[in-house]
Chain A
């Protein structure tokens, strides 16, 4: 079933929407959640919460990209779960991801209290400035949470080489945030 058909089911309050969403995007959302939470039980809870959130948001929402819409919900729920459970559980995927993203935080971060929206805009513009291959790599790592090992295997390089490439990209983003943040 095409995404627009699935969204239409949500707007008609037809529970078939959830079954069809699971069929069309379940594997994608589970993969994303698993990379972030690293625990199957938590992944299933996160996915159930994702379907519930989608049900609550459509209507009124009619997302242009259902997959991106569901992925954002999964990411938000995963980080919420991480915040809530960090004392009790270790979510290896998320911890590694966040520690890497910590490297993107500018040196002058304490002076920078940027709104989330602004951070997102800066990242979006920065991604546009990259060449396609670099952009896809970064999005695959930090949006889809694909592992460095997976990306390295696909690119035919070692994990170390991929890690260094990611490090260069993070450094580039850090400099951009620092520069843009100062200008803001």
Chain B
């Protein structure tokens, strides 16, 4: 026997002995202090249906007009065929996925900038309510609105979209749509766009064709203000959001003055990469702004990167064959609004959602064992984005005397209108659900509150038991949804 044999013997020591030393972060003097926290080393592998589903509507309504005639579809978008996942031969599926992800090169940094610019305005002021919105959905709807406008109206939109020309908008929006349209049997992510046209007006065909070809927008013409046309719109929304926003869609109507309604939806559903173990779900207290409430918390111990900023901490739970869900917890005593106004959290979101690599580019991070405690939630919100968009510099499209919709309507139709067309409302509704089928609580495990700015030695309790932010990213890091959970 010699030293080499001892070396080889050491090589084959148990995984947990290796992991125990691995999890001790280097470069800190206090690393060998014993952790007071309970450790859960077991990796949960019992298959469970833990799902996440989300849907959103963004509607832009252009007024005014009145007219007649019944509703009918002019054209319905044909979505590209997707390679279905096959256990027996998944090479073609993987190749398709890789191609789809490569499309993000075209727009990924832009979306990070867009997130940074828009998210605080879209989420701030929720009070004690939940709030959800979809940056990709808003981006897509504003891109289509840019197609319908010209002059200063378009310039304001291009600026917010971080594009110099309308051609750049098209290239990016098309890549964004193609990268995020997934219906392959493992993940469902369907961004859908539609145009609802006043039947008494003549729209410029070239513009409508661009919307159809570049944005996969379906077109419908009908008599505005009629129950039938409204029902057709509601049915379209329900179909494209898998009935997840039925309550919100039932309230969406176009009045007789509507010239055109632009409606975008996105439906997203994916499973967690590692499901939560059913037996570890237990009722626990969530400290909402308006008082404590008891909700079901799911628990998992996972190895992953823990991030922190001056006033928050964050972690990501990955979604199978897709992106991930980011959870951002303000430090104790810091409100979500304060965090949003600070800028650091939007920088964080802009950084981490702009890339699908493991190196998310955020310096303050550490690979740790994370004990995640996450309340199950089903959050829904609907809001009018008009004021948020005004605050972001989009003003002309809301003013009938400043709005320039010349690429949309033929000259004689424009002349028929009592007032030039303008955007009368921008509606946005979204819902995000974290679900767990057949949940039953068999254990109650109380974990101490964590989430301080400085992570502890080798493991961290990440307990989302007070209002927090979340973001859902697609396969390439695209921010599909962001939201605040005030009331799980």
By a beta-carbon cutoff of 8 Å, the part of chain A in contact with chain B is: 1-5, 12-14, 16, 20, 23-24, 28, 64-65, 67-68, 71-72, 75-76, 79, 83, 97-106, 109, 112-114, 116-117, 119-120, 122-124, 127-128, 132-133, 135-137, 139-140, 142-144, 146, 150, 153-156, 173, 177
Contact = CB atoms under 8 A, between A and B. Distances in A.
A5 B318 contact: yes
Contacts of B1: 105-106, 109, 112-114, 119, 177
Interface string B75-106: 00000000000000011001000100000000
A67 B3 contact: no
Interface string B329-363: 00000000000000000000000000001110000
Contact of B24 (A65, A79, A120, A136): A136
Contacts of A12: 90-91, 94
B390 interface: no
B104 to A, nearest CB: 14
Nearest to A21: B358
Interface in B1-50: 1-15, 17-22, 24, 26-29, 31-32, 34, 43
Identify whether the interface residues of A are mostly helix, strand, loop, or mixed.
Answer: helix
B302 interface: yes
Contacts of B31: 154
9 contacts: A3-B303, A4-B273, A12-B91, A13-B91, A67-B19, A119-B9, A133-B34, A136-B24, A154-B32
A143 B5 contact: no
A162 to B, nearest CB: 12
A79 B5 contact: no
B15 A64 contact: yes
Given A114-B1, A127-B17, A144-B21, 18 more contacts: A20-B358, A23-B357, A65-B18, A68-B22, A98-B3, A104-B3, A105-B1, A105-B3, A105-B6, A112-B1, A119-B5, A119-B9, A120-B10, A124-B14, A124-B17, A127-B13, A139-B20, A143-B17
Contacts of A76: 8, 11
Interface of B: 1-15, 17-22, 24, 26-29, 31-32, 34, 43, 90-91, 94, 98, 273-274, 302-304, 318, 357-359
Given A24-B358, A120-B13, A2 B3 contact: no
Nearest to B356: A1
B362 to A, nearest CB: 14
Closest 4 CB pairs of A and B: A119-B9, A102-B3, A101-B3, A139-B21
B273 A124 contact: no
Given A13-B91, A64-B15, A119 B6 contact: yes
Contacts of B26: 146, 150, 154
Nearest to B11: A75
A115 to B, nearest CB: 10
A1 B318 contact: yes
B32 A155 contact: yes
B32 A123 contact: no
A120 B9 contact: yes
B435 to A, nearest CB: 21
Contacts, number: 152
Contacts of A156: 29
A13 B302 CA distance: 25
Contacts of B273: 2, 4-5
Given A106-B1, A150-B26, A154-B26, A101 B6 contact: yes
A156 B359 CA distance: 31
Given A105-B1, A154-B31, A79 B7 contact: yes
Contact of A154 (B15, B29, B94, B359): B29
**Residue of A76, A79, A139 most packed against chain B (CB within 10 A):** A139
A72 B318 CA distance: 27
B275 to A, nearest CB: 11
Contacts of B24: 136, 140
A100 B7 CA distance: 10
B187 to A, nearest CB: 13
B22 to A, nearest CB: 6
B6 A104 contact: yes
Given A4-B274, A79-B4, A155-B32, A23 B358 contact: yes
Given A67-B19, A120-B12, A132 B29 contact: no
B20 A102 contact: no
Contacts of B43: 64
B11 A124 contact: no
Contact of B13 (A102, A133, A139, A140): A139
Contacts of A119: 1, 5-6, 8-9
Nearest to B16: A65
Contacts of A139: 10, 13, 17-18, 20-21
B11 A132 contact: no
A168 to B, nearest CB: 16
A68 B19 CA distance: 7
B195 to A, nearest CB: 38
A119 B9 CA distance: 5
Contacts of B34: 132-133
Nearest to A122: B9
